[in-house]
Amino acid sequence: MSHNGSGSLSFDVGLFKRDKNTKNGGKMMVRTWTAEEIINKNFKFLQAKNFKGEDIFIRPARDTNSDLILIDDLEYYFIDQLIENKIFPAVITETSPENHQCWLKTGITDQKLKLELSRLLAEKYEGDPASVDTAHFGRLAGFTNQKQKYNAKGRQPFVLLRKAVKAAKQQESTGLSELINIAQERIDTAQAQHKTRLELLKNLPKNKEITQNLIDMVSRFYQVMQNKYSSGYDASRADWMLCIRLYHQNYTVQQVSEILAITSDTERKSNAKYYIDRTIKKSFAWHHLKLKNPDQDFSAVRDRLYELFDDIKN
């Protein structure tokens, strides 16, 4: 990343050492340095690590409250689209042949708004949705991309700095204003939906099946989802996660069904009753199978889960 293009004064530099035996495929060591320290004091150290097979990443230091956003895995066509729409990246790198990363200076430091804008940009310009984050690492230009799939005749491709835009040009990024407004509207809508859901839960009549403990647990679940993802979580996936969590806490199918009927975002579904029935039964079957065999492969049983429910329940 260019110091001049980004305008940030300090950076987290990540050194990723691949290891097949670890959960994430390797370990990341993070150091926080200024641009001067990276270039004048630690460049040879980073070169040596890179030569030994480690990937070198960078992001604005977390304690700087940076307004930068990364869009990952872009084709150059979409970079042209960004520029046509008067959104000028601060930095453009080519991380592997035909794959690019863009850093955008947004003027926003609010974390929720940054996250929603990052998600919106990835959707609109077909970036990698898995990289949507307020503090995602990008590759540092001048070092090689050590992913094995890019190896060509024993050589790894260099991460290339394709463009670093001066601050004056970045200030002409008028195209961001509309997207920032849309991102804020999404947040406001998600917060309103979340508030309505919590009110429904709060006013839900208590009985033998619907206890205060159950309501409190479900409320906490959706609060975590709201805090972490705002409008960005998949509603169906959230329903599935909630069902699995409730079954894990030994709540019954009847209890889960009553809760899901209240909390699920079923307005967009043409047959809510059918959706809820299938969700609670399939998740129950999956929970049961995983208890018996933690290594159970979901893809091997996903098409049979609904039918398996009756066998398991009986």
- Which structural domains are found in the chain, ordered by start? 3-172 (3.30.70.1790), 205-313 (no CATH)
In this prediction, residue 314 has a pLDDT band, given cuts at 50, 70 and 90, of low
Mean pLDDT along residues 266-284: 79
Q: Is 97 helix (H, G, I), strand (E, B) or coil?
A: coil
In this prediction, residue 270 has a pLDDT band, given cuts at 50, 70 and 90, of low
Q: Is 85 helix (H, G, I), strand (E, B) or coil?
A: coil
Nearest Cα to Cα of residue 110 among 52, 67, 146: 67
The type of residue at 163 is K
Looking from the CA of 209 toward its CB, the CA atoms found within 13 Å total: 10
Which two three-digit tokens encode residue 143? 């070092």
> Under 8 Å CB-to-CB from 83, ≥6 apart: which residues?
89
pLDDT, position 294: 86
**Could you tell me which residues are beta bridge partners of residue 100?**
74, 94
Q: Which of 76-90, 190-204, 242-256 has the lowest mean pLDDT?
A: 190-204
How many other C-beta atoms are found inside a 10 Å radius of the C-beta of residue 94?
A: 21
Q: Is 36 helix (H, G, I), strand (E, B) or coil?
A: helix
Indicate whether 36 pLDDT > 90.
Answer: yes
Nearest Cα to Cα of residue 213 among 259, 263, 257, 244: 259
Nearest Cα to Cα of residue 311 among 274, 285, 283, 291: 285
pLDDT, position 55: 97
Q: Which of 96-105, 244-253, 297-306 has the lowest mean pLDDT?
A: 297-306
Distance CA 295, CA 253 (A): 24
Which two three-digit tokens encode residue 106? 């947004």
pLDDT, position 82: 93
Nearest Cα to Cα of residue 140 among 309, 267, 295, 16: 16
Largest CA distance in the chain: 70
In this prediction, residue 169 has a pLDDT band, given cuts at 50, 70 and 90, of low
Indicate whether 260 pLDDT > 60.
Answer: yes
pLDDT, position 172: 66
**Mind listing the pLDDT tens digit for each residue in 178-228?**
999 999 998 888 888 778 878 878 777 777 778 888 888 888 888 888 777
Mean pLDDT along residues 30-57: 96
pLDDT, position 1: 45
pLDDT, position 298: 80
pLDDT, position 180: 93
Distance CA 220, CA 131 (A): 26
Distance CA 44, CA 41 (A): 8
In this prediction, residue 4 has a pLDDT band, given cuts at 50, 70 and 90, of very low
In this prediction, residue 29 has a pLDDT band, given cuts at 50, 70 and 90, of very high
Q: Give the global pTM.
A: 0.75
